[in-house]
Amino acid sequence: MSQTIQTIPVRTKPEYSAAIGEGLLDRCGQRLREVLEPCRAAVITDSNVGPLYLERTRASLEGAGFAVSAFSFPAGEGSKNLGTLGEALEFLARERLTRTDLVVALGGGVTGDMAGLAAALYLRGIRYVQLPTSLLAAVDSSVGGKTAVDLSAGKNLAGAFLQPSAVLCDVTCLATLPPLFFADGMAEVIKTGVLVGEELFSLLEPGPLTPESGLLPRIIARCISYKAGVVERDEKEQGERKLLNLGHTVGHAIEKVSGFSIPHGHAVAAGTAIIARAAEALGWTGEPVAGRIIPCLEQNGLPADTAFSPEELAEAALGDKKRAGDAITLVVPEKIGRCAMRTVPVGELLPVIRAGMGR
* Active site (catalytic) residues: 124, 146, 188, 227, 237, 241, 245, 248, 252, 264
Q: Does 40 bind ligand GLY (CB under 6 A)?
A: no
Strand partners, 44: 71, 105
Residues 6+ apart with CB under 8 A from 172: 1, 22, 23, 25
Which helix (H) or strand (E) covers residue 122, if one does?
A: none
Least separation in angstroms between residue 143's CB and ligand GLY is: 7
CB of 213 to ligand GLY, least distance (A): 23
Q: How many angstroms separate the most distant Cα atoms in the chain?
A: 59
Per CB under 6 A, the list member of 33, 56, 218, 241 interacting with ligand GLY is: 241
- CB environment 249-258: b (16+ within 10 A), e (fewer): bbbbbbbbbb
Instruction: CB nearer to ligand GLY: give 70 or 138.
Output: 138
> Closer CB to ligand GLY, residue 114 or residue 357?
114
Q: Is 146 near ligand GLY (CB under 6 A)?
A: yes
Residue 216: CA count within 13 A, CB half-sphere: 24
- Shorter beta-carbon distance to ligand GLY: residue 116 or 303: 116
b or e along 290-323 (b: 16 or more beta carbons within 10 Å of the residue's beta carbon)? bebbbebbeebbbbbbbebebebbbebbebbbbb
The residue (of 77 and 140) whose beta carbon lies closer to ligand GLY is 140
CB of 214 to ligand GLY, least distance (A): 26
> Per rule CB under 6 A, is residue 244 in the interface with ligand GLY?
yes
Phi, psi angles (nearest 5°) of residue 167: -125, 125
Name which of 137 and 209 has its Cβ closer to ligand GLY.
137
Assess contact for 64 and 32: CB atoms under 8 A.
yes
Q: How far is the CB of 270 from ligand GLY (least distance, A)?
A: 17
Q: Is 21 left (phi over 0), alpha (psi -120 to 50) or beta?
A: left
Neighbour tally for 240: CB within 10 Å: 13
Q: Does residue number 140 form part of the binding site for ligand GLY (CB under 6 A)?
A: yes
**Do residues 270 and 188 lie in contact, with contact meaning Cβ atoms separated by under 8 Å?**
no
User: Considering the complex, what minimum distance in angstroms separates the CB of residue 241 from ligand GLY?
Assistant: 5
In angstroms, what is the minimal distance from the CB of 74 to ligand GLY? 23
Contacting range for ligand GLY; rule: CB under 6 A; set: 80-88, 137-145, 190-198, 319-327 = 137-145
Binding of ligand GLY at residue 144 (CB under 6 A)? yes
Nearer to ligand GLY, 159 or 310 (CB): 159
**Contact window for ligand GLY (CB under 6 A) among 76-84, 140-148, 261-269, 345-353:** 140-148
246 belongs to the binding site for ligand GLY (CB under 6 A): no
Q: Which stretch binds ligand GLY (CB under 6 A): 53-61, 139-147, 209-217, 308-316?
A: 139-147
Q: How far is the CB of 288 from ligand GLY (least distance, A)?
A: 26
| Smaller CB separation from ligand GLY, 210 or 225 | 225
CA distance 301 to 186: 9
Instruction: Tell me the number of residues near ligand GLY by CB under 6 A.
Output: 6
Per-residue H/E/C for 160-178? EECCCCEEEEEHHHHHHCC
| Cα distance between residue 349 and residue 330, in whole Å | 9
d(CA 130, CA 105): 5
Q: What is the dihedral of CA 302, 305, 306, 312, to 10 degrees?
A: 130
Residue nearest to ligand GLY (CB): 244
Interacting residue ranges for ligand GLY, rule: CB under 6 A: 140-141, 144, 146, 241, 244
